[in-house]
Chains A and B, each alone.
Chain A
């Protein structure tokens, strides 16, 4: 079989150091956000100033890589200026694309910054050909980041039916809800992922030790898990918590697992997918280096029609466990 073009590898960076690490580890694209509420990973100490972005773009372009800027929260009513400014600054910095979710911001960007390439964020949760064609026709969106709720079969069918490229989440945190349409964290903490850019934010997390050694993890006062002494207590992401229904305790929504589609890369190529996205702008530089390098090797192997090297990423997953998520229909 002929050698095919490898999938484009779109990698996260929360800091300039992580950006350089991603490029050096083989990222085709690094995606970043500004240091404010305009992006969906608005965590303390993370993200880029306009100057850092311009430097990051210059570094990436020198090394043959590209930069996408995520401006993928929903502008606050009455003060959309921060979001409009973010788009203008991304264009000024020479970014290769912006990743947007809000209909009004897409309309603004298409009108005021027509030359700036637009991608549709996963936060828009566009899960069918009609919605995607709408974004393409209205705003000339060139690529869509697909929701993590689709099966492999659905992704293949969808990709054949739409006039834009598709990008699929390959590794990292797994949203089990339709992205951008989930107010669970907002309900519990008062901080909205859609508006403020952080789900289950760290400032609301508490780890307490009870008599007898049991560790309790809480988010904004709600208990999300209890684990016996000695076992690791994971980060209390709301939808991965353990709750009870009619007295029976269970992970009601999802076990604490991470997404890893390494084993399905050949299928994603066959499905016509253009790019793979690695989650984790909030993660360390070591994470970025290891995960990007592993995926570089995997997508290149698949493009050369070779066997995908065995997984080495277990240490970077929640509880060391992974799932292919909704890609496999059994998940539903």
Chain B
């Protein structure tokens, strides 16, 4: 059956998928942040860089001490900078911080909680990965509120991405394509709990682990990674070999999460694959030389267990 003319016109635009760098999820010291973003600004072929603390309100003062410098450096490097908001907002202080951030910034904002979506009502913004957007109905609703792009949740699969891409909501899609995946949030800090501390007196022990703290099963099998109040996958997601399929679906951005690895090189690999300049399998082999701390996974994309790595092409 031939699709109606309007539908063909609204088919995904075959223009190139862009790369974005997600907000830093870890508690790195200020000097390391500045150095990291200086390299990103100068060397990484990413179009958009998200900055701002999304995990823990207690880290805000430290994270924000370098924010102006980082934003300035990225913008001078030609990057589009987006300001990301906290993912779990519980008390008045966190809410006031959110309001002040949204009021005072003329940057594009990534909303990571419905409260931020409320404050941004009618103003163009990005719906972040911590707002549950699983389907075209919610995507359309987010678009009516002013979302121009939605970053899909960690567990979204290829079928759902394709269905949302086809749905003509006018909201473009960003898919998490590299890094440990955010799996859970809590008001309790497990990093502090591990060190026998309470969150109120945490001594910022999460800062000891630049890529997260490994949790193993009692059999010594790698399992998950702690990052303060957040729980991440132990595996590192890589959709490098599915980047072409995502581009064909019309996904506008692939998100790379910052890690303590050579991120400009990681971004370059994704860019060359999207541009058809490197064979995906060759690129994947090169990628493994940059990531030494965990195995790769792509199971969520294939509607499987998130920790799996599935070989082979994507077919809807």
Q: Given A182-B183, A226-B218, A244-B218, decide whether A80 and B136 contact each other with a Cβ distance below 8 A.
A: yes
Min C-beta distance of A197 to chain B, whole Å: 13
Complex Cα gap A178–B138 (Å): 20
Min C-beta distance of A221 to chain B, whole Å: 9
Min C-beta distance of A316 to chain B, whole Å: 24
| The residue from B140, B187, B193, B218 contacting A326, defined by CB atoms under 8 A apart | B187
Check A116 for interface membership: any CB of B closer than 8 A: no
Min C-beta distance of A153 to chain B, whole Å: 9
- Enumerate chain B residues within 8 angstroms of A329, measured Cβ to Cβ: 200
- Enumerate chain A residues within 8 angstroms of B218, measured Cβ to Cβ: 223, 225-226, 242-244, 249
Q: What is the chain A residue whose CB lies nearest that of B166? A: A78
Q: Given A128-B89, A154-B91, A330-B198, decide whether A190 and B135 contact each other with a Cβ distance below 8 A.
A: no
Complex Cα gap A239–B117 (Å): 29
- Enumerate chain A residues within 8 angstroms of B233, measured Cβ to Cβ: 187
Looking at the complex, which of B65-73, B288-296, B303-311 is the stretch in contact with chain A?
Answer: B303-311
Q: Given A127-B89, A130-B95, decide whether A80 and B188 contact each other with a Cβ distance below 8 A.
A: no
Check B16 for interface membership: any CB of A closer than 8 A: no
Check B281 for interface membership: any CB of A closer than 8 A: no
Q: Are A131 and B115 in contact (CB under 8 A)?
A: yes
Complex Cα gap A104–B221 (Å): 39
Check B141 for interface membership: any CB of A closer than 8 A: yes
Q: Are A222 and B135 in contact (CB under 8 A)?
A: no
Check A194 for interface membership: any CB of B closer than 8 A: yes
Check B272 for interface membership: any CB of A closer than 8 A: no
* Secondary structure class of chain B's binding surface, majority of residues: mixed
Complex Cα gap A67–B188 (Å): 33
Check B252 for interface membership: any CB of A closer than 8 A: no
**B interface residues, tally (CB under 8 Å):** 73
| The residue from A135, A176, A223, A226 contacting B186, defined by CB atoms under 8 A apart | A176
Q: Are A243 and B217 in contact (CB under 8 A)?
A: yes
**A interface residues, tally (CB under 8 Å):** 64
Check A126 for interface membership: any CB of B closer than 8 A: yes
Q: Are A222 and B221 in contact (CB under 8 A)?
A: yes
Q: Are A332 and B198 in contact (CB under 8 A)?
A: yes
- Enumerate chain B residues within 8 angstroms of A190, measured Cβ to Cβ: 299, 303-306, 308
Check A108 for interface membership: any CB of B closer than 8 A: yes
- Enumerate chain B residues within 8 angstroms of A131, measured Cβ to Cβ: 89, 113-115, 118
Complex Cα gap A250–B136 (Å): 41
The 19 listed contacts between A and B (C-beta, < 8 Å) are A102-B137, A102-B138, A107-B137, A124-B132, A128-B95, A128-B115, A133-B118, A149-B186, A177-B184, A177-B186, A180-B132, A181-B130, A187-B233, A189-B305, A222-B217, A243-B223, A244-B218, A244-B220, A252-B226
Q: Taking beta carbons and an 8 Å cutoff, which residues of A are in contact with B?
A: 74-78, 80, 101-105, 107-108, 124, 126-131, 133-135, 149-150, 154, 157, 176-178, 180-184, 186-190, 192, 194-195, 220, 222-226, 239, 242-245, 249-250, 252-254, 326, 329-332
